[in-house]
Amino acid sequence: MALARRFTTVFPLVGAVATAVALTGAAFFTVAHADCADTGRYVVRDGVVELVGGCVDGADLPAVPKLDTVPYAVQP
């Protein structure tokens, strides 16, 4: 009975860790095989426009605007 209780306690943890490892592996595989030479295209599916293919380079993203800090008078 104690062995069954331990198994039912550990099984969800092992399942969660295995799922996390599988998803992490899939993400690394996808990124490793990404081809940025493809510019991508827009496809209409069921009335929804989707971007298929391509990838975004960090240089393509807009820069974060730098704001000057404005000194505020702090009153107690």
pLDDT one-digit tens code per residue, 41-68: 899 999 999 988 777 767 777 888 777 7
Tell me if the pTM is above 0.85: no
Bridge partners for 48 per DSSP = 45
Better pLDDT: 40 or 19: 19
Share above pLDDT 90 across residues of the chain, in percent, rounded to a whole number = 29
How high is the mean pLDDT of the chain? 82
Distance separating alpha carbons of residues 53 and 49, to the nearest angstrom: 13
Could you tell me which of 51, 54, 49 has the C-alpha nearest to residue 39? 54
Count Cα atoms within 13 angstroms, Cβ side, for 40.
12
Give the confidence band of 16 by pLDDT, cuts at 50, 70, 90. Answer: very high
